[in-house]
Amino acid sequence: MGTFVVTGAASGIGKACAERLRAAGETVIGVDVRDGEVVADLSNPEGRRAAIAEVAALAGGRLDGAVMAAGIGPGADRERMIAEVNVLGVTELLDAWQAAFAAAGDARVVVFGSNSTTTTPMVPRRAVRRLVAGELDAAVKQIRRRRGVSGPVAYAASKIAVTHWCRARAVTDDWAGSGIRLNVLAPGPVLTPLLRSQLESSTGSQVRAFPLPSRRFGTAEQISDWVMTMLSPAADFLVGSVIVVDGGTDALIRPRDWPRPLPLQSVPRLLWAMYRAPREGRVAQY
């Protein structure tokens, strides 16, 4: 049995994941603004530093995995908070815990993305790049120019940024090379307290109007099933992947956008990777 950290463990999908892990006999360090083994507010630097330090102390230098489920949904006038929690609340914590994952030798980390990354229009690419770089002030300023839709745009931008960060980290020697399997799970609408509050708010009609081929919302229990698979030995060959579980919305809106042929401008990067791989031991051993 191992030790896993779950952020957002007090409610919704995070709670369901924590319960599943505990039922499987794992030790869970839950992080949340309330009712967790570690109580910390990830929307500010002090809270993130506290979460990093307290989890590290409880884990004793070794973590067998993590589920980064804490997040802030779309909302007016909270673009900065969305960026703090959804981006830095993942990247700063995972970077700080990387050594503890590496100490386990076979750790698995699941980060929650969203299908909003591929279904939300008007997301400024420059803002995404700045979020990845940790330049939150500049990113939020650009996002707020999308007047009237800055909340959904901030949410989508934050999830695109954290997904890009994960894919870039996942394939490095510090992560994949250290036995850490880092992947992203991108759900669609899941009937959690967050979604229920949106359905009951002034934006409820917009949420209901969003196309959903399955004609039903997902549940926290269904998503936790996917998380458990991604934390299991079945995911040993899963590295830097983005798994979309959204009732078909992404496929409906973008049926031919993925997979797509490798663009010509990416060929030099491919050739460089092929050149480096044998010299750095990144080749299959048969």
Q: With contact defined as beta carbons under 8 Å apart, do 69 and 9 qualify?
A: yes
Place of tokens 């969003």: 210
Q: With contact defined as beta carbons under 8 Å apart, do 32 and 8 qualify?
A: yes
Can you tell me the distance from the alpha carbon of 123 to that of 2, in angstroms, rounded to the nearest whole number? Answer: 39
pLDDT digits (tens, 9 = 90+) for 208-219: 778 899 999 999
Does the domain at 3-261 match CATH 3.40.50.720? Answer given as yes
Q: With contact defined as beta carbons under 8 Å apart, do 123 and 160 qualify?
A: yes
Distance set, CA 181 to CA 20, 65, 99, 106 (Å): 20, 9, 13, 8
Can you tell me the distance from the alpha carbon of 226 to that of 205, in angstroms, rounded to the nearest whole number? Answer: 29
Residue 286 confidence class, pLDDT cut points 50, 70, 90:
low
| Paired sense of beta strands 242-245 and 181-187, if any | parallel
pTM confidence score: 0.94
Can you tell me the distance from the alpha carbon of 26 to that of 3, in angstroms, rounded to the nearest whole number? Answer: 6
Residue 158 confidence class, pLDDT cut points 50, 70, 90:
very high
Choosing from 4, 97, 112, 155, the catalytic residue is 155
Nearest CA among 73, 66, 83 for reference residue 31: 66
What pLDDT, on the 0 to 100 scale, is given for residue 204? 73
Torsion angle (degrees, nearest 10) of CA 26, 32, 37, 40: 140
What pLDDT, on the 0 to 100 scale, is given for residue 203? 66
Residue 98 confidence class, pLDDT cut points 50, 70, 90:
very high
Can you tell me the mean pLDDT for 173-199? Answer: 91
Say if residue 278's pLDDT is above 90: no
pLDDT digits (tens, 9 = 90+) for 36-82: 999 999 999 999 999 999 999 999 999 999 999 999 988 778 999 99
What pLDDT, on the 0 to 100 scale, is given for residue 240? 98
Distance set, CA 108 to CA 6, 54, 186, 284 (Å): 12, 20, 16, 20
Place of tokens 């708010």: 201
What pLDDT, on the 0 to 100 scale, is given for residue 16? 97
What pLDDT, on the 0 to 100 scale, is given for residue 285? 63
Helices assigned H by DSSP within 70-192: 79-83, 89-104, 116-119, 125-132, 136-143, 150-170
Can you tell me the distance from the alpha carbon of 183 to that of 172, in angstroms, rounded to the nearest whole number? Answer: 13
> 286 catalytic, yes or no?
no
